[in-house]
Amino acid sequence: MYKTLSSAVVLSIWTGLLLQHSFVGHAANAALKAANLQPYCTFTQEAKRSAARLRTAAQKRLQAMAEYNKLSLAMQLAITRMPKRSAAWRTIAAYAQNQATAEKGKINTLLDKGLQAASVTTYAAGRIDEFVHVFKAAHNNNGNRDTNTCIEGIGGNNKDVSAIAGCDEMVWSQDVPGAATLKTAFAAIKTSPSAGASTDTKTCKMTDAKASAYVTSGATADLLWGLGVYVHDSNGLSNDDKWGKDADQITLLETNKAAINAFDGEVNEATTKSFNKAADLKTTITPSQNAPGIAAAIKDVTGDEELKAGEALENAMKQLFGSDFDQDQPSIIKDLEAIKLKATPDSDETELLSHTAATISGALATTMVKLSNKTVCPAPAPATKQDSSKKEETEETCAAKGLGDACKDGCKEIAEKGEKKCVVDKDYKPKK
């Protein structure tokens, strides 16, 4: 008898990250049990979903980045519409810009780790599925699995192999249910399915001993299966037949271990954001929500050297957003709701955040053009020599000159009720 292409083949592929495990064989023509293959097929199913999960996570990150960019634009426009709140609007704009930058960085990390894990595990899933499909089909042509089968099911004639449904052909889906469990599914592969394999009476003919069979002897080269985890020596059967590479020798999985283990976290942490109305901003300016982000924005705007925290942060937020900022209906939210905008000249005005980033950006550009064209300090008209030397005095300016020789040039000294005063000289004419 010899060790057959058994569960160790499956185990070795999917225990690439579980370096402490080695392969254990079973009798030459024993069948693998379908139930013992379940962890492998659960993993391949999750691996085949990884690309779709990566796509969904990237879309969420991109959407969040776009929403933060829109919020930043809206706050810049709010500064021109409601200057009394300019400090608050500037802080929220800085917060939004910081968050957009952070989302961009997370997208880069997601694609870096996610593409690496998805490509490697999807490829490996195809290899393990191929093994399962071939062995699943290797049984008597009359369907009786009692006398010849390579994967033993349960029930009548051992036909039920539903436990390995995860190894079915991949069906591409834009959306997949639940959270990613790639790392979890991989970690579940801890026991070789050859432990508890079927008895020899199942006689898996694919690995039965035949003197001229390719999988037993007579081959001109080593028979490699999958990732090379099963290697049948070309010298034929012997007590030291190779079961393939040990787990720590599977370079493909070992060298990508970090990316595979990081995949679930990167994908599941991606969330969408929405700033379609002023009320959506409330959680952003609440101490228990995003306080570190607001603290960083305050530091950016004020130029402080240290981040505020605790009571100092709360006091700073009260100064910026109002003492009622953490109430159900804070005044700053009401002020933001009061800023209206038209999507088109003929449309009705609606609150600022209800508009798209393109509309807000257009309105901001128009406002900037108007402000740049507006004359802030008109140049004075050319003055005559007389005008340039003329100075209009007032009672206040004359009184400030004092008495005596200082009270002149448009002012004169008078006595009123015995008290001298310097007052405006209405008859004064400047010298030409």
Q: Does 84 or 160 have the greater pLDDT score?
A: 84
Would you say residue 3 has pLDDT above 50?
A: no
Q: Are residues 44 and 124 in the same domain?
A: yes
Q: Are residues 234 and 349 in the same domain?
A: no
Q: Are residues 152 and 55 in the same domain?
A: yes
- Is 430 inside a domain boundary? no
Closest by Cα among 136, 132, 131, 166 to 47: 166
31, 155 contact by CB (below 8 A): no
Q: Which band of pLDDT confidence, cut at 50, 70 and 90, is reported for residue 275?
A: very high
Would you say residue 118 has pLDDT above 80?
A: yes
The domain tally of the chain equals 3
d(CA 43, CA 204): 25
Choose from 74-78, 189-193, 200-204, 228-232 the range with maximum mean pLDDT: 74-78
Q: Are residues 256 and 397 in the same domain?
A: no
Would you say residue 161 has pLDDT above 50?
A: yes
d(CA 389, CA 430): 8
Q: Are residues 107 and 18 in the same domain?
A: yes
Return the exposure string of 384-400: e unless at least 16 CB atoms fall within 10 Å of the residue's CB, then b. eeeeeeeeebeeeebee
What is the per-residue pLDDT for 237? 39
- Is 381 inside a domain boundary? no
Would you say residue 147 has pLDDT above 50?
A: yes
d(CA 162, CA 359): 55
Q: Are residues 336 and 405 in the same domain?
A: no
- Is 386 inside a domain boundary? no
Which phi and psi (to 5°) does residue 151 adopt?
-130, 115
Other Cβ atoms less than 10 A from the Cβ of 305: the count is 6
The burial of 380, by beta-carbon neighbours within 10 Å (0-12 exposed, 13-18 middle, 19 or more buried), is given as exposed
Q: Are residues 202 and 259 in the same domain?
A: yes
Q: Does 316 or 141 have the greater pLDDT score?
A: 316
- Is 429 inside a domain boundary? no
At CB < 8 A and 24+ separation, what contacts does 199-202 make?
199/27, 199/30, 200/1, 200/27, 200/28, 200/29, 200/30, 201/146, 201/147, 202/29, 202/30, 202/31, 202/145, 202/146, 202/147, 202/148, 202/149, 202/150, 202/152, 202/158
Q: Which band of pLDDT confidence, cut at 50, 70 and 90, is reported for residue 288?
A: low
What is the per-residue pLDDT for 372? 80
Average pLDDT score over the chain: 77
Domain boundary among the residues 268, 296, 328 is at 268
- Is 377 inside a domain boundary? no
Q: Are residues 138 and 254 in the same domain?
A: yes
Q: Are residues 29 and 173 in the same domain?
A: yes
- Is 382 inside a domain boundary? no
Average pLDDT rounded to a whole number, residues 224-234: 53
Q: Are residues 359 and 256 in the same domain?
A: no
Q: Does 411 or 377 have the greater pLDDT score?
A: 411
What's 199's DSSP letter? Answer: P
Token duo for residue 155:
């029930």
Q: Are residues 131 and 262 in the same domain?
A: yes
Q: Does 130 or 116 have the greater pLDDT score?
A: 116
- Is 384 inside a domain boundary? no
Q: Are residues 264 and 403 in the same domain?
A: no
Domain boundary among the residues 268, 292, 323 is at 268
| Structural domain boundaries, residue 287 | 278-365
Choose from 77-86, 233-242, 298-307 the range with maximum mean pLDDT: 77-86
Give SS3 for 223: strand
pTM flag (> 0.75): no
Domain boundary among the residues 268, 295, 321 is at 268
- Is 324 inside a domain boundary? yes
